């Protein structure tokens, strides 16, 4: 998240204090492959510095099943399994505490730094494109 510093004491994500990022070309935005996926497994991630889950998400037949880690302190394992999420699936892999994260799950940030996952208001099949 270029341009934003996480400091929960300063409430950095209060929308009233969060400036807009620089404008980007539409080509840059549309280069991201954003897809709908279904969480199929949630595993503990004790090696992470901050509390996090390892998520396994099914993104349909063309993308397949990918894994990521997510700092979702407000979400229990039981509420995550089966949930539909939005992910950026064409970013390079990233190593996090010995774990390979294969995509970025998208969420909204509360003023105190907690994350709420983005979801859809309709049921779309895994692999559906986000436009």
Cβ neighbors of 18 (< 8 A, separation 6 or more) are 4, 12
Between 90 and 71, the higher pLDDT residue: 90
pLDDT digits (tens, 9 = 90+) for 11-46: 667 888 788 889 999 999 999 999 999 999 999 999
Q: How far apart are CA 18 and CA 74, in angstroms?
A: 22
Q: How confident is the model at residue 115, as a pLDDT?
A: 85
Query: Residue 3 to residues 7, 13, 22, 71, 77: CA-CA distances in angstroms?
Result: 13, 12, 9, 19, 31
pLDDT at 109: 85
Domains, the chain, in order of start with CATH, read 8-17+33-117 (2.40.50.140)
Instruction: Report, as an integer, the average pLDDT of 72-84.
Output: 90
Q: What is the mean pLDDT of the chain?
A: 88
Q: Is the pLDDT of residue 70 over 50?
A: yes
pLDDT (average), residues 93-120: 90
């Amino acid at each position: 998240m270029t341009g934003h510093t996480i400091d929960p004491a300063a409430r950095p994500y209060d929308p009233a204090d969060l400036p807009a990022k620089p404008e980007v070309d539409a080509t840059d935005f549309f280069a991201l492959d954003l897809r709908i996926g279904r969480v199929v497994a949630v595993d503990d991630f004790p090696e992470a510095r901050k509390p996090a889950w390892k998520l396994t998400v099914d993104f349909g037949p063309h993308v397949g099943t990918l894994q990521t880690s997510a700092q979702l302190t407000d979400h229990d394992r039981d509420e995550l399994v089966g949930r539909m999420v939005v992910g950026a699936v064409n970013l390079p892999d990233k190593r996090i505490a010995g774990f390979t994260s294969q995509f970025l799950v998208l969420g909204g940030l509360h003023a105190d730094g907690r994350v709420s996952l983005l979801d859809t208001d309709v049921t779309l099949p895994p692999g559906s494109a986000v436009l």
